[in-house]
């Protein structure tokens, strides 16, 4: 998914469904599964390219992150996530991704 690591931002890709397949990934990724209320139901660290994860009971979707994101953040099963897309307008207004370190 990433050829090189971004300088200071963490990229996340949201997906829908109780399972995830790391198709076309170029490096390992971390996968966080959430329920309908965005509550974390499962965490998978360093999923290798072309590998699948799930299906996870209770998961309706999730977020794929750069490898190491789970180990470098305080996220745990049961946490409630808040997803805020960083759009071009938000960046132009000075928005920055949250610092998870």
Q: Report the distance separating Cα 33 and Cα 58, nearest Å.
A: 9
Position 7 scores a pLDDT of 41
Q: Report the distance separating Cα 9 and Cα 50, nearest Å.
A: 25
Number of Cβ atoms within 10 Å of the Cβ of 69: 22
Position 86 scores a pLDDT of 67
Predicted TM-score (pTM) of this structure: 0.75
Residue-by-residue pLDDT tens, the chain, 101 positions: 444 444 445 678 889 999 999 888 889 999 999 999 999 999 999 999 999 998 999 999 999 999 999 998 889 999 998 877 666 776 677 766 555 44
For the chain, domains (ranges, CATH) are: 12-92 (2.60.120.1140)
Length of the chain: 101
The two beta strands, 29-34 and 61-66, are antiparallel
Nearest to 13 by CA among 35, 28, 36, 29: 29
């Amino acid at each position: 998914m990433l050829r090189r690591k971004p300088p200071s931002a963490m990229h996340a890709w949201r997906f829908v469904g109780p399972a995830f397949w790391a198709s076309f990934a170029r490096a390992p990724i971390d996968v966080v599964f959430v329920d309908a209320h965005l509550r974390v139901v499962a965490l998978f660290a360093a999923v290798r390219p072309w590998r699948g994860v799930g299906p996870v009971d209770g998961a309706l979707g999730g977020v794929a992150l750069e490898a190491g994101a789970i180990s470098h953040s305080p996220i745990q099963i049961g946490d409630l996530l808040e997803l805020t897309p960083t759009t071009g307008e938000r960046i132009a207004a000075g928005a920055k991704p949250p610092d998870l370190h």
